[in-house]
Every structure is written in structure tokens, then in C-alpha cells.
Amino acid sequence: MTGLRAHVVRPDRGVDVTIEVAPGECVALIGPNGAGKSSVLEAVAGLLRHAGRVEISGVDVTTAPPHRRRVGLVAQRADLFPHLSVARNVAYGPRAAGVAGREARERAATALAAVEVADLAHRAPATLSGGQAQRVAVARALATDPAVLLLDEPTSALDVDARVSVRSALATAVVGRPALLVTHDPLEVVALAARVVVVDGGHVVESGPTAEVLGRPQTPFAAAFSGLVLTSGTADADGIALDGGGGLASSDRTVPPGRAAHAVYHPTAASVRRDGAGVPRRVLSVEPRDGLVRIRAGELVADVTVAVAARLGVRPGDEVRLEVPPEEVTVFPTAPTSPID
Amino acid sequence: MTRDPVGTPWWLPVPALLGGLFVVVPVLAMVGRVDWTSFVALVTSRSSLTALGLSLGTAAAATGIAFVLGFPLAVLFARARSRWVGVARAVVLLPLVLPPVVGGLALLAAFGRIGPVGAFLADHGLRIAFTTAAVVIAQVFVAMPFLVSSIEGALRVGDDRLERVAATLGARPSRVLLTVTVPRALPGIGSGLVLCFARALGEFGATLTFAGSLEGVTRTLPLEVYLQREVDPDTAVALALVLVVVALVVIGPSSIRGARSGRVAAP
């Protein structure tokens, strides 16, 4: 028996995604906008009909309407019912399930306490901050004791402080029940998900344990998601011989020489010089990036300080040499099943 | 400091003032014509009170029926994505732009003795045309579009996200409609009921055509005003003032509230 098994097909959007979530497991679904992540969530929730097969707790719910699927949905916006108090919002699910008023109120109180907003019970939704409202939305989903929890970018509309509290509420919520998390936030993935599935162009392009996907990404999206530069080549005695010419030495390599491999490094670890040792590449662009200057040269990227960038004075078209310390480079085998496009 | 940062052209108040006067002057002129010494006697005469009672009763009934039939229409119109629903909406809203007398003729064609519905009802001993029921039918016909478009407008503000959340929380469609959709549509329901009642109260052309002008049965206040205008202008003016007052009482509160919240009652 699985927690969730879904095969979502939308021929009009070119979406064909199969996803499985074990009981009690939280799986993060990441990918560029328009990749089909929302289609998967909507299909599981029953809000998108005729879009493949969905099985929840071993029961085929493909033809069941949303109200019979026992899914808990927390979206980007809290979407609390504005005409009901916080307590009544959270009691809405139990009441809809036919639970008597007193019992429903108790369940609401329990759910509110679980995400540490019990003191908000009598407030009106309009008086809540974004983070408070989102935690109430989490409590509202929990109060129905859902068989699957669907989290659709649950913190992306919040400011940084609110994200922290909502993330901790979500960490409580995902314990013991299957959850599917769509997000653009790497921190959220690390905090909540045990496994990551990368969707791009309507298909699963990579999946695996969180540390594996984020630390040794096979796809450009997964690499960019965790802030790494991904490059490919062939393993050699020192590290990797890059497809684009030159090579990077690595002190973290497990690939027998001669095999196709990927290498990742963090762009701030790379240094750029006009000449001397290093991988020769032609500069494609120079752009500001979080207080640094991002230099793209060939398929490689280096983030350097403004002072260094000014001293180098590089412009697109210039020839430069990039170097990355071996201890910053990880070389790992290319997964045979998920090649880079 | 100013609430209107864009600024208003200096000349805009001129036509605006003219527009306001265009409505206010005739009403005030009519008030000036009222013979106050006999006003109370005129408006409390038996025929006047009968007409007023009939007007309020039929308008209230018509508003109730229009809500029962019109709310489902509005919900379907707001939710449907089909092109044919656009056609259906145009047909249902037709009475908004149709001369009421034409509406009356259409109703007569359907509910009259030789009309399809009328003939069927006549076979079962029911006569509609030229009864109080006909007055209510005529009012529903002309006034329901106001209700439908007002509620549909309220439902179209914002999408159906709340309904979707309610469904995932386990609420059946009927429960979602009653506990989420109706509260969401409340502002539109309020202003729609007001407009519908006001339009039903003022109904004249369709009523006269379809229901006639029988005292105590189909002669509502507007018909009484028109009739008295020929024989007793003082009574006509006095009753007209009563209609103005009723209309102000009905539409005033919601209009004031609408201005405060930046929204207008009209669709």
C-alpha cells in the first residue's frame, strides 16, 4: 500500500508525470514555472478532472470528486473564508464531514494548537498577518485529518520572518502523513522533504533523496535550484575533463576514469583571471547578483566580488581562465536514466 | 492630502451639475405641484391605499420569485465557460433593453388563453392573464435581469478559489454553495434585491399590457397614477410623491453604503 500514487496526463499541456509518495513521506516537487507541477497537485486534489489516475491510501479515487478524496490543500494564499472566524474556518472541514458542533470545535482547537496559533481562534481572517493566516490555513487542512497533504508553494507569498513560522507549522503538519510539496525555496525542501522529484517540460527528469538531488544534481534545473553550477565531461585521474575543454581537479570523486560524469561547484568558489592556469572560456555575460558580480563564461559560472570584477574589467567576448579549488568540486557519475537535455 | 491624486479636470463639475439638476428639477417641480392641504386625504383614499398595498405586495412577491429563479441563473452564468452560456445570458437579460410593452405582449402570447402555457393552464382551470398573478409575472419578467446581473457581477469578483478550498475540506457542492458562494455573493444579492424590488414597484408597460388595470386586482400604483392623471391631476401628483418616497426608502440605504465602500449598487 502506498500513501499516494498518481499518473497525471494532460495531453494539451504535454504533461505526463508519475509520482509516488510513501505513507508518512514528504516529497518535494520542483521545476520551472509551467513544468506541470500545479497540474499534478490539482489532479491529486480532484480539481482537475480526466487527467490520469490517482490512488490515495491504496484506493483508486480517479473518478471521485474533491470532497471525497480526503486531501488537505495549502496553497500560496491562505484563502480563509472571510465571513467566518478563525475557529470556524478550521472547524469547517470537520463540520462538512458531519461532525457535531462541539466535537468540531474541539478538533479545530487541537489543530490550531498544533501549529501554535490557538490564541487567534476568535479573530476575523481580515485582521491576521500573512504568516498567521497561512498557519491557520495549515490548521484548517490538518483538522480534516487528510490522507494526503498538498502544499502548493505554501510560503512563496510571505516575507522572510513569516516563512520561518509557517515552515515550522508545516514541519508539524507533514509528520506521519504523505505530503506533496511544490516549492521554489531550497530551504523548504531541505526542512520538509525526504525526497525530491524534478519536473521539467511536463516530465520527471530527475528524482532521488533530497541530499542526493540537491548535492549531486543531474539536471541544470536541480543544480540552479540549489545554487550550484553543473557541468559535464569525462572522469579522469584528477577529477573531470570537461566537454567544453579544460578540466577541474576534485578531491571528492568516486567515478572511475573514463566514465561520463558531472561536476558541481558553488559559483562563489570559482576565481577568474585574465591569463595563467585554469579552464579557458569566453565570457558570455556579466551581471549583478546578490551583491556580487556573476560572470558566465561558456557553460561555467563564477560569482566574484565587485572589486575583483572591476580589477578584471571583463566584458562579454573576452577570454578568461576559471579556476575552482579541488576541495570545492564534486565529481559524480552521470545517471544513465536522466541525461541532461 | 487629497484622496484623488490624479486630479479632476476643472470643467468636469459643469456637465455633472447639469446632469444632477436634470434629475432633481423635475422631481422638485412635481413636489411643488403637490396640494398639501388635501395631500393626506388624497393618498389615504380607498383606491389609493388599495393600489399602494397591491404594489408593495406584488413587488415583494416578484422580488422573492426573482431571487429563487435568478440566483441559480447567476451562479451558472458566473461559473460556465461555454459560449452558449453567453447566448443564454443575452436572452435572459433581454428584458433590460426591451420596451416593457413588448415584454407584456410576449407574456400575453405565452400565458394568454391561446398561448402554449396559458392554454395548458386553462385546461386545468387556471387563468393567468388579467389577474394579480399576471402582475407578479410581468414584474418578475422585467426585474429579474437586474438581480441576475448584480449577483453574477459579485460572483465574478475574485475566482472560485474559496469554493475549491471548501471542496478539498470535504464539503459537498450544495454545502459549498450555501456556506461559501452565498456569503461571497451577499453584497450583490443585497443590491440586486433592492434594484429588483424598485424595478418591480415601478413596472407599468408590461403590467398594463399583460395584466390590464382592474382596481384591486391588477391596478398597481403606477397604473393608478397614470389613470388619475387624466381625471384628477392632484391625486396623480400626490401618489407620484408616495412612489418617490418609497423608492428613496428602498434604494437610499444601499446607495449610501455603496458610496462609503467605493462601490455602487447598480450593476
The number of beta carbons lying within 10 Å of the beta carbon of residue A115 is 26
Q: What is the pLDDT of residue B258?
A: 64
CATH label of the domain that carries residue B248: 1.10.3720.10
Cβ-defined contact of A79 to B183 (cutoff 8 Å): no
Contact A81 B161 (CB under 8 A): no
Chain A contacts in chain B segment 183-222 (CB below 8 A)? 183-184, 186
Whether residue A96 and residue B164 make contact (CB cut-off 8 A), yes or no, is: no
Q: Confirm if A339 and A219 have CB atoms less than 8 A apart.
A: no
**Nearest CB neighbour to A92, from listed B161, B169, B172:** B169
Residue A16: pLDDT over 50: yes
Q: What are phi and psi of B251, to 5 degrees?
A: -95, -20
Q: Does A65 touch chain B (CB under 8 A)?
A: yes
Complete DSSP assignment for A3-22: SEEEEEEEGGGTEEEEEEE-
Indicate yes or no: CB of B161 within 8 angstroms of CB of A79.
yes
Find, in chain A, the residue whose alpha carbon is nearest to that of B170.
A67
pLDDT above 70 coverage of chain A, percent: 98
CATH classification of A228-333, choosing from 3.80.10.10, 3.40.228.10, 3.40.50.2300, 2.40.50.100?
A: 2.40.50.100
Does the CB of A145 have a partner CB in chain B at under 8 Å? no
Query: pTM of the prediction?
Result: 0.81
Give the residue carrying C-alpha cell 447567476.
B74
Query: Fold match between A4-216 and A228-333?
Result: no
Contact A79 B162 (CB under 8 A): yes
ipTM value, please give it. 0.83
Domain count of the fold of chain B:
1
**Residue B189 in this model has a pLDDT that exceeds 90:** yes
Judge whether B37 lies within some domain. Answer: no
Choose among A88, A65, A24, A32: nearest CA to A222.
A32
CATH architecture of A4-216: 3-Layer(aba) Sandwich (3.40)
pLDDT value at A81 more than 90:
yes
Q: Per-domain residue ranges for chain A?
A: 4-216, 228-333
Instruction: Give the residue from B79, B157, B165, B184 with the most A CB atoms within 10 Å of its CB, the best one to mutate.
Output: B165
Angle, in degrees to the nearest 10, between helices B46-79 and B83-92: 170
Option in A65, A70, A73 nearest B165 (CB): A73
Is the distance from CB of B155 to CB of B76 less than 8 angstroms? no
B172 touches A: beta carbon within 8 Å: yes
Question: pLDDT band at residue B266, thresholds of 50, 70 and 90?
Answer: very low
User: CB distance from B164 to chain A under 8 Å?
Assistant: yes
B68 and chain A: CB distance < 8 Å anywhere? no
B28 located within any domain:
no
Q: Are A212 and A190 in contact (CB under 8 A)?
A: no
Whether the pLDDT of residue B2 is over 60: the answer is no
Percent share of chain B, pLDDT over 70 = 94
* Chain A / chain B CB contacts < 8 angstroms: 62
Q: Does A66 touch chain B (CB under 8 A)?
A: yes
Q: Give me the domain span that covers residue B58.
A: 47-260
Which ranges in chain A belong to alpha helices (H)? 37-45, 86-96, 101-114, 130-142, 160-173, 186-192, 210-215, 220-225, 306-312
pLDDT in the model for residue A177: 92
Is the residue at B107 inside a domain? yes
State whether B167 and A93 contact (CB < 8 Å): no
Mean pLDDT of B78-87: 86
d(CA B226, CA B85) in angstroms, rounded, equals 39
Check: CB of residue B203 under 8 Å from CB of residue B226.
Answer: no
Torsion of CA B44, B48, B49, B54, to 10 degrees: -170
- Which residues sit opposite A9 in a β-bridge? A16
